[in-house]
Structure 1
């Protein structure tokens, strides 16, 4: 194998890594290497929007799980994570949501100087090619295709109407002037097919002679010499070798794998690393501050045909030839963002809804026509951590989320489930609602919490494990190590009120300017 020297070595070709590879290699004088542990994104099921749950526990998924969770009576939870070009943007539900301006004010208060709403909005808009066009809130002409769903199930219109009947407003744009209310979600699709970060950023860049993309390549550690990151040790097939970076190593492996890689490289809690025989390089709280969004599926039978029978040959042909039909659905077609207390400055729950029986963390078989109403905690106060299981790079990390271990989270869960039950009871949905498949046995707090602990599922939005202000600085440079940055969802000091893929892409867009030495834009 040719032993080349690169300016930048990027570890992880997920949402952030694809952005960085494209933006940094746009300078023809810059040599960029992008390394992905998984394969190229050629599997046909990656393109089918409705197929995302079928990608779990396949070779395209890291297939992680939590440690026994103390707040869930010792249960483990499934943690899907994309292991393929595009990362989790290749296996997610494609929802495009940015979060609330209040989230980014909180980032700046936590030490993320320049990451307030005025500092991030230009990068959201730079990335976006919204089919509705450009305005004060949106961009057009950017790499990432964003559009309205091409299919809208009648049960989801009933859900939105039920939200209005429960006293909430209809919201035509969750990324517009206000987050509050019920409405249809926008998605990262093009012509009815999934449009991942790899589609958006790599397709146009991968033919550049100064960009090298390695797939099926595992990175064992960052090589640090005299306090500076100088390259990475990688495994390709049976060969172990070191690739050197003349300017920077950029870790974009996500909120689980980025802290694992840093810890394997001697960057983390020094005492814990020494116990594994790893020489400490920088003593930092790597892997701590882990946050995630979790949902609680209320599932009801219905006499309306759901998406469970959508995968017919006719619908498959309709999708591939015309980009239409029920297979263009992302399942989670609609949502309601709600404040469960009047004193809150922004929504604290997001009620996802889908016209299908969604049980067993998305792994269960939909054996009945049903619909799901799933309240999600937007700003949980529980904090977990990611830490090493072994000094062997092939070992999966230990992940403990500590779900529902704070009284505040448990109180929010009770309010969230009650708010969702109120919506499900409105005439618009009640007309189509049959027997519950998944619901609390009673309406008292204890019954709701028992239900929540039993059905809780991650919605696959881990963040915070290499946070700005504690592990990296506001330029995303790892503190105490030169030539090393982390650029992905792990740098978020706090999670956002909404789905995390768009913010991750924004982080990488802004990081590209910081890395290139350009003055960041502001709104």
Structure 2
């Protein structure tokens, strides 16, 4: 018996040592982090990968909210799996602040987002500056991702999803049933979601990494939850002959996340530190580590290591909605709150039998040309009559900023979106909302649809500015070209890359960023494997 416990303790110590002294140190177990870890651990079984995830292990209730499609709006309010960041006021939306949400659990924002598959219009990817990555060369990756994650029309769609799509076609949008076709500027389709055959959300962790942890990658991957990265550790050296100074990332300091039992710990990377902390937290971590502009770092009391415009050209997307009530047909069946919250519904869903909890909140998606992309949700807005809402997410070139306010890793950053600061942005959102009003007008008379607002569905600039909100998408904090190279290496530094939505320099045109983040992670996973082939094998 003593030998057994000694072996157990020895195994635990070896695992801890491997976690602290690793080949690849991945900071953030979100979308990109899970993809990269899965690629590296399979390709290099003798190398070690450590993932630092700030989120704590999920409770059974939070895990339920994450995976039950009908519980999407509940999971958005669960602060144990997501972080809320309040922005600075924006003049373009009448001086209002907005609240941004980002994932804070294994799987990242793929655990709390709308699960919707949307691809950017042709020409978008070519603007990002990744060598040999084009719309055409991205296609095989998108097909791989679509199948790997299991995107597709939901098995248990909303009752009126087909009616919405038909109304869209009547309003002039072209039906597009090909998930990889981006050639039609004005198109509509029943939403394609990442829901598996057991009616559960499939996120980046459950699709890419979780299946490997009990099998091929059980011995060479360490997932550390509840550890917040506070600073990247740099080693600086000076060439005695030339006097040139080189900077290399060699590790990451962590502190325990709130509620965690972890102690402050330093983790070392023999090969590379891969920052995949997401659109808000990757630029924040770089700034906390002394990578940023002198003015921002001085104001926060952080010593500068590298002068780079981290967080200085962020791109955030605003959204707006058109809600309409309907009284001529029964309420959407999945809006029965009593049934949704019943023990019977949960038992049915837990057994893999679907039921009301497997019904998503979204009915359709589409592209409003180069102005925006859109979606429809049918959820219970109580009290009041049944309603459905169309939402537009405008395309934009407007930039804002994200800056640390001090050296505390738990302090929220200063977030300036500059929503609707340009007339072009207002016009794009206005035209898209006008298109949505036209879709609502095309519903059969039997629905007895009525605009809840604006009156008679007449969209004005004032209406657009009054209803605009955070549009769920944020890129550019560590943009390719300004902060990282086309190989995602932080400029002026070795051993450090940033690979996630923050690396994308421009907003994906007429699409959300999720598919694009999966693309970049898949691509760079392949390129890292190729780069280290022969070195780590």
What count of residue pairs does the alignment treat as equivalent? 486
CA contact (8 A) 1:299 1:357 kept: no
Out of 431, 437, 453, the position equivalent to 1:421 is 437
CA contact (8 A) 2:54 2:226 kept: yes
Partner of 1:405 in structure 2?
421
CA deviation after TM superposition for structure 1 residue 87, in Å: 0.8
TM-score (normalised: structure 2)? 0.86
Out of 48, 53, 78, the position equivalent to 1:36 is 53
Partner of 2:359 in structure 1?
329
Q: How does 1:56-455 map to 2 (within 5 A)?
A: 56-58=76-78, 59-107=80-128, 111-129=129-147, 143-176=148-181, 178-179=183-184, 180-191=186-197, 192-207=199-214, 208-226=218-236, 227-236=247-256, 237=261, 239-303=263-327, 304-306=330-332, 307-309=334-336, 311-313=340-342, 314-339=344-369, 347-357=370-380, 367-377=384-394, 379-428=395-444, 430-439=445-454, 443=458, 448-455=460-467
CA distance in 1, matches of 2:102, 2:522: 22
SS at match of 1:477: coil
CA deviation after TM superposition for structure 1 residue 317, in Å: 3.7
Deviates more, 1:432-441 or 1:299-308: 432-441
Q: How does 1:486-505 map to 2 (within 5 A)?
A: 486-496=498-508, 497-505=510-518
Q: Deviations over 1:357-414 (max 9, x none)?
A: 56xxxxxx5654111111221x212211111121111101111111100111011122
CA distance in 1, matches of 2:532, 2:133: 13
CA contact (8 A) 1:263 1:273 kept: yes
Q: Deviations over 1:234-257 (max 9, x none)?
A: 013362121110111011011110
Change (3 A) 1:433 1:392: farther
CA distance in 2, matches of 1:221, 1:475: 22
Deviates more, 1:294-303 or 1:474-483: 294-303
Change (3 A) 1:181 1:366: farther
CA distance in 2, matches of 1:205, 1:348: 41
Partner of 2:3 in structure 1?
none
CA deviation after TM superposition for structure 1 residue 480, in Å: 0.7
CA contact (8 A) 1:174 1:185 kept: no
CA distance in 2, matches of 1:479, 1:369: 53
SS at match of 2:310: coil
Partner of 1:457 in structure 2?
469
Q: Deviations over 1:276-334 (max 9, x none)?
A: 22121111111122223332111112223123315153443443334433322331220
Change (3 A) 1:517 1:280: farther
Change (3 A) 1:92 1:442: closer
Partner of 1:361 in structure 2?
none
CA distance in 2, matches of 1:169, 1:9: 46
CA distance in 1, matches of 2:448, 2:318: 24
CA deviation after TM superposition for structure 1 residue 488, in Å: 0.4
CA contact (8 A) 2:320 2:393 kept: yes
Q: How does 1:468-507 map to 2 (within 5 A)?
A: 468-496=480-508, 497-507=510-520
Deviates more, 1:28-37 or 1:315-324: 315-324
CA deviation after TM superposition for structure 1 residue 160, in Å: 1.1
Change (3 A) 1:230 1:338: same
CA contact (8 A) 1:94 1:330 kept: no
CA deviation after TM superposition for structure 1 residue 119, in Å: 3.3
Change (3 A) 1:423 1:198: same
Q: Deviations over 1:404-454 (max 9, x none)?
A: 0011101112211211111111243x54244433325773xxx62222222
Q: Deviations over 1:7-64 (max 9, x none)?
A: 1110111111111111111111211000111123452221101111112232211111
Q: Deviations over 1:89-133 (max 9, x none)?
A: 1111111222222211222xxx3322221332232233332xxxx
CA contact (8 A) 1:414 1:448 kept: yes
Q: Deviations over 1:162-204 (max 9, x none)?
A: 1111122211124226344121121111122101111011212
CA distance in 1, matches of 2:455, 2:204: 38
CA distance in 2, matches of 1:14, 1:93: 15
Q: Deviations over 1:440-491 (max 9, x none)?
A: 5773xxx622222222222312111111111110100000111000010111
SS at match of 1:405: coil
SS at match of 1:301: strand
Deviates more, 1:53-62 or 1:302-311: 302-311
Change (3 A) 1:408 1:519: farther
Q: Which has the larger radius of gyration?
A: 2
CA contact (8 A) 2:318 2:420 kept: no
List alignment gaps of at least 5 residues for structure 2.
Answer: 1-12, 237-246
CA distance in 2, matches of 1:285, 1:277: 17
SS at match of 2:434: helix
